Amino acid sequence: MSDARARVRSLVDSSRFQWFIIAVIVVNAAVLGVETSPGILDDARWVVTLGWVTVGIFVVEIGLRIFAHGRDFFRDGWSLFDLFVVVIALVPASGTLGVLRVLRVLRVLRLLSAVRSMRRVVAALGATIPGMASIGALLLMLVYICGVMSTHMFGGTDPEHFGDLPTSLLSLFQVMTGDDWANVIRPVTDEHPAAWVFFILYILISTYIVLNLFIAVAVEALDRQSEDDKAEIVAEVEEGEGLMLAAIADLKDEVARLRADLDERRA
């Protein structure tokens, strides 16, 4: 690695540079919010200029990181995400690609790659995908079974909410989310007093038990990610200690050789 590349890499990997980029991301996020208010822009045109200044800083940052890390930059998923966000920011506002300008708001998501704790949370959430998929499939099975049952049992009583399977599935989803669920089931419970047993069991299983399973999987993934981070830190510390001990050993050998040479000259 050349001296220039080493210096640039030391710069872009430094904590001060990272905090500076985080501050620029926050400023850019505020600018994106202000740009949604034409009245404010008419009185403060400098906001647009500030937005382009932040984009320019992002471009320079990406260029420095590519120069510093070389091919390793393109092997890192977070670095590719940052590159994609910056490229989207340079898309022309007019023409066939103008619709992609909406994706400028993704620049706010650069905080995920800039803040290590956020990256850890995202990595943990990514690790939960297999478990979440299994729980999601279980939830779909539950909603489907209850949808078929409710259509047969309550379709004639309340066709507005349970007249057919798609309508029943939509109503049960509304009940599961708790959005005005009492008014959804009231026509049925007024006609069938025992229907509340079905809906209470459905709410308990779909909302509380399955939701707790989602939370348990997420917490387990976060704990696993935290343990992996601790192991990585310990490995880095041990590697640093090993390098320090090796340097001390080399220094002792050098001192011993110098003493031996001095003794020979005196003799």
Query: What tens digit of pLDDT does each residue of 116-165 get?
Result: 777 777 777 777 777 778 878 888 888 899 999 989 888 888 888 888 88
Work out the pLDDT band at 77, boundaries 50, 70, 90. confident
Residue of 35 and 80 predicted with greater confidence: 80
Q: Which domains does the chain have, with CATH numbers?
A: 3-114 (1.20.120.350), 129-234 (1.10.287.70)
Closest CA to 88 of 62, 68, 67: 62
In degrees rounded to 5, what are phi and psi of residue 112? -65, -40
Closest CA to 33 of 104, 88, 110: 104
Work out the pLDDT band at 100, boundaries 50, 70, 90. low
Closest CA to 124 of 205, 51, 53, 218: 218
DSSP per-residue letters across 75-126: G-HHHHHHHHHHHHHTS-SSSTTGGGGGGGGGGGGHHHHH-HHHHHHHHHHH
For the chain, percent helix, then strand, then coil, each to nearest 5? 90, 0, 10
**Amino acid type, 136:** G
- Most distant CA atoms of the chain, gap in Å: 114
Is 70 exceeded by the pLDDT of residue 225? no
